[in-house]
Structure 1
Amino acid sequence: MSVGYGFNATLTAAPGKSDELVALLLTGLDEGSPGASEHCVVYLVSRSASDPDVVHVTEGWTSKEDHHRVFAGEAAQSIVARIGGLLAKEPEYTDYVPVRGKAAF
């Protein structure tokens, strides 16, 4: 399956909330959640090596339309609604179209 749309989100957790933020973002991989969708090809949650309050989420989707459709669903909206209370500032997004890569966990 190819990736036609992707983005990286940088989220800065409020002090003392980074573990909770990471745990919440990882629920995005649970059955029925956005990261478990057949249209989500990449879902990677990472922490900054230099700032423990900074969390990065990298996502790759089959298309922009598939991403928007999945994120309009109840499971995604529930996660998004809970993220706001854990952040120190607004997330920063960079969109892209992945060309090629590899992930092995």
Structure 2
Amino acid sequence: MKKYGLHGNLQAVEGKGDSLADILVQASALVSDAKGCHLYMVSRDAQDKERVWVTEVWDSKEDHDQSLHMEGVQALIAQAMPLLAGQPEKGVVMEVLTGI
């Protein structure tokens, strides 16, 4: 069965990479038990301390979209937005074939 995947990064303003990463780790804890979530991985960029990568694997796009409405998720998004160095770019959508 094919899965829905997303891979993208967020660039924090100078000096806010740690704070942004902390918020995304909190988001991971919230959605990791959500329906259809197989992976919500938060990674720091080894070359850019202000860039944080997020890799997600879901059963479907619908499951992913529903996770955005879970209790607490919108509050974390609101906390993260002022830390970003510009609008977040759309991540790469992937059709996950194996690995989970």
The interval holding the TM-score normalised by the smaller chain is: 0.7 to 0.9
Distance, in Å, in 2 between the alignment partners of 1:66 and 1:38 is 6
SS at match of 1:97: strand
- Structure 1 unmatched runs, 5+: none
TM-score scaled to structure 1, two decimals? Answer: 0.83
Distance, in Å, in 1 between the alignment partners of 2:8 and 2:80 is 12
Query: Are the counterparts in 1 of residues 6 and 55 from structure 2 also a CA contact under 8 Å?
Result: yes
Distance, in Å, in 2 between the alignment partners of 1:74 and 1:81 is 13
Query: Are the counterparts in 2 of residues 3 and 61 from structure 1 also a CA contact under 8 Å?
Result: no
- Structure 2 unmatched runs, 5+: none
Give 1:82 deviation, angstroms: 1.3
From the superposition, tell whether residues 56 and 3 of structure 1 become closer, same or farther in structure 2 (CA, over 3 Å). farther
Give 1:76 deviation, angstroms: 1.6
Give 1:3 deviation, angstroms: 5.5
SS at match of 1:60: strand
Distance, in Å, in 2 between the alignment partners of 1:48 and 1:90 is 19
Q: What amino acid does structure 2 have at the position aligned with 1:4?
A: K
How many pairs does the alignment contain?
99
Distance, in Å, in 2 between the alignment partners of 1:9 and 1:21 is 14
TM-score scaled to structure 2, two decimals? Answer: 0.87
Distance, in Å, in 2 between the alignment partners of 1:14 and 1:3 is 36
Which residue is 1:61 aligned to?
Answer: 58
Consecutive aligned runs of 4 or more in structure 1 exceeding 3 Å deviation: none
Distance, in Å, in 2 between the alignment partners of 1:26 and 1:3 is 26
Which residue is 1:98 aligned to?
Answer: 96
